[in-house]
Amino acid sequence: MKGDEIQLSVLIPTYNYNCYPLAEAVQRECAGLERTTGLRYELIVADDGSTDAASLAANSAINQLPCCRLLLGDTNRGRSHTRNCLAHEARGSRLVFIDSHMSIISPRYIATYLDTTAKVCQGGYVVTASPRLWRGNLRYKYERSAAHINHHEAGSPHPNHDFHTSNFCIDRDVMLAHPFDESISRYGYEDVLMGKRLMADGIEVLNIDNPVGFDTFEDNTSFLDKTDQSIHTLAAHAAKLRGYSRLLDMADSLGRCHLATPLRLLAPWLMPQLRTNLQGRHPSLTAFNTYKLLKLLSSLHST
């Protein structure tokens, strides 16, 4: 190996979040692997135009960690753009992407990815937060209900359909040949579309048991606002995402049964009531699923 050749780039996109503890934990394991195996690595955090002064101040310390650096964006360009920029900035032949709000729960997190030869693999995530602290939080309840999808284990079905950006490893040449679609500038579905494009080129995503922890959740109103953005994204890119979204498949089925129009007409009366429940202290996942479906039916009609 050449003296300046880097084997691994760990890439963390962030926005208004203190990800110094995450960067420090990953750097600590990488430094240990450097001592024991000679691993050459780098860790790059890309800030997507954060406005929160406390997060910016905390993350500035990343530059003091060995082999780590922080890139600051002057405006918010979106998830796809930030991840593509990180891939171009990286010098490693293997890239590990981690979302900034995740936490490391395994002492062999990086080592497990290095042991895997798949061109693309994902380790998933597990909810590690206390039910006592978060029982009234909609995002917490939703993530707990989706644990069978989000904690990927070898052999689980349809990994390309359930590709997530929160925790994955990819060969750099594959990433550069299959960048995230930057026409998706709002929240949601850029990862699903990438999974589809990889499959179209015969590249299967491998699910491995290498989860990160998920223990911090936005409030119910903020999560609903994110959900609204993701539904708009899904409706705007429906032609690309058919077959890769269960929600879109359901909306299409209702259309074939001539039920989409009556449900859409009921949406202006039902959705405010559903939103009231979802913003409250006891949000219902049934109400959440109904809200998303009504939102999508309305969005598809308006696009």
pLDDT at site 153: 56
pLDDT at site 184: 85
**How confident is the prediction for the chain on average, in pLDDT?**
92
Would you say 87 and 59 are in contact if contact means Cβ atoms under 8 Å apart?
no
| Pairing state between β 41-47 and 120-122 | unpaired
Taking the mean position of all CA atoms in its chain, how far away is CA 262? 34
Average pLDDT (144-168) is 76
Q: Which residue has the higher pLDDT, 200 or 157?
A: 200
pLDDT at site 188: 85
Q: For residue 239, is pLDDT > 90?
A: yes
* Rounded-to-integer distance, Cα 277 and Cα 186, Å: 25
* Rounded-to-integer distance, Cα 163 and Cα 193, Å: 9
* Rounded-to-integer distance, Cα 52 and Cα 18, Å: 10
Angle at the Cα of 203 from the Cα atoms of 202 and 205, rounded to 5 degrees: 140
Q: Which residue has the higher pLDDT, 288 or 154?
A: 288
pLDDT at site 4: 63
Q: For residue 31, is pLDDT > 80?
A: yes
pLDDT at site 147: 78
Q: Which residue has the higher pLDDT, 158 or 283?
A: 283
- Mapped onto helix, strand or coil, the DSSP state of residue 161 is coil
pLDDT at site 155: 44
Q: For residue 177, is pLDDT > 60?
A: yes
Which amino acid appears at position 94 of this protein?
R
- The separation between the first and the last C-alpha atoms of the chain, rounded to the nearest angstrom, is 53
- Going through 187-226 in order, the beta strands assigned E by DSSP cover 206-207, 212-214
Average pLDDT (36-52) is 95
CATH architecture for segment(s) 8-217: Alpha-Beta Complex (3.90)
103-112, 149-158, 250-259: the lowest-pLDDT one: 149-158
Average pLDDT (35-54) is 96
| Domain spans in the chain, listed from the N-terminal domain onward | 8-217, 221-302
Percent pLDDT > 70 in the chain is 96
pLDDT at site 3: 47
- Mapped onto helix, strand or coil, the DSSP state of residue 289 is helix
Output the pTM of the full model: 0.92
93-97, 156-160, 184-188: the lowest-pLDDT one: 156-160
pLDDT at site 302: 83
CA 235, 238, 244, 247 dihedral sign is positive
Predicted confidence (pLDDT) per residue in 54-101, tens digit: 999 999 999 999 999 999 988 888 899 999 999 999 999 999 999 999
